[in-house]
Amino acid sequence: MTKIKPYWSPQHDMKDFRFNIWKQKRDEFLDVSDVPESILPFFSFAYLLEGEVMLEVEGQPWLCQANQVLLIPRNIPMKILYFKENTSFECGFSIHVVKDLSYPCLHDPHPLLQTFEGEEADFTAALLEQMLKAWEKKDLALVSSTLDLFLCRLKPREGHPGNAVVNQFIERVFNRNRKPSKVADYAAELCITPNYLNRLVRAQTGHSAMDWIEISRLNLAKSLLKQGELQISEIAAAVGIDDQSYFTRFFKKSEGCTPTQYREMRMKGTNSPK
């Protein structure tokens, strides 16, 4: 099972951390169920070229999609909720490698999510590629210059992006203290109709409410299958599906194999067909 490789040093080395960047392509399921909450003493950001990633920061979900950057300030708690196959630049940096400390994004205590479009997106990707090459060559002067150029393009906004109802829905869907439920159940908790909830969620995230529920169910099922402690019927119930046959069809439609086959491949250390 692929694990998320941190770009920071071990805990006892964090005080000396200054900078790191790499380009990452993830094309398989990442089990984030046991990734602990982190509080990093430096800034970090991800710029997605494709795919999606969702983090919980300060108790709020932040969904980062293609052509978006998510900047996380230092010393605030964050936890990974969800990964979809993605290609991204990921970076951590200390304030000591920044030339100009006046950039507003460095003084905002909250995360920053920003979208780049068209030529702006192409330029940002090229800039980060240049930053990566400079880092690989240990050209620290060029690293600092490209980092400053990147930071000056980030514009903080007021408050958490998106609709508060959608954010509450996402929090509930990825809450591992409860099994995934139906759209109607979440809508009732939020005192709105299922159709209205679905419209809000799709407008903000590009996915329907049911899409997110199925993503949560699938990720939870994969995590439980990997652990190998529960029967398939028990896993189906744990993800909110009472019919084991339907659970098998649901899983196979997404992964191209049955839950039993997936478990066997995980135990053998091989990849799923998809």
Per-residue pLDDT tens over the stretch 74-117: 999 998 888 888 899 999 999 999 999 999 999 988 899 999 99
For the cut 50, the answer to whether the pLDDT of residue 6 exceeds it is no
For residue 54, being part of any structural domain is answered with yes
Cβ neighbours of residue 252 under 8 Å, at least 6 residues apart?
Answer: 258
Exposure string (b/e) for 194-222, b if CB count within 10 Å is 16 or more?
beebbebbbebbebebeebbbbbbbbbbb
pTM: 0.82
User: Does one domain contain both 251 and 131?
Assistant: no
Number of domains in the chain: 2
What pLDDT digit, counting tens, does each position of 32-73 carry?
776 788 888 999 999 999 999 999 998 889 999 999 999 999
For residue 52, being part of any structural domain is answered with yes
169: left (phi over 0), alpha (psi -120 to 50) or beta: alpha
User: Does one domain contain both 17 and 147?
Assistant: yes
What are 34's two structure tokens?
């046991």
> Of the candidates 99, 120, 151, which is a domain's last residue?
151
Q: What residue has token string 């958490």?
A: 160
Q: In the prediction, which pLDDT does 159 show?
A: 67
271/134: higher pLDDT: 134
Burial environment of residue 224 by CB neighbours within 10 A (0 to 12, 13 to 18, 19 or more): buried
Cβ neighbours of residue 217 under 8 Å, at least 6 residues apart?
Answer: 180, 239, 240, 241, 250
For the cut 80, the answer to whether the pLDDT of residue 164 exceeds it is yes
- Say which DSSP state 8 is in: S
User: Does one domain contain both 76 and 126?
Assistant: yes
The SS3 assignment for 62 reads strand
Average pLDDT over residues 134-141: 96
CATH of the domain at 215: 1.10.10.60
Which residue from 230, 234, 266, 229 is spatially nearest to 247, judged by alpha carbons? 234
User: Does one domain contain both 229 and 197?
Assistant: yes
Domain residue limits at 31: 11-151
Q: In the prediction, which pLDDT does 50 show?
A: 94
User: Does one domain contain both 122 and 178?
Assistant: no
For residue 3, being part of any structural domain is answered with no
3 pLDDT tier (thresholds 50, 70, 90): very low
User: Does one domain contain both 93 and 71?
Assistant: yes
For residue 19, being part of any structural domain is answered with yes
Average pLDDT over residues 152-165: 83
For the cut 90, the answer to whether the pLDDT of residue 152 exceeds it is yes
Q: What's the rounded Cα separation, in Å, for the pair 77 and 40?
A: 8
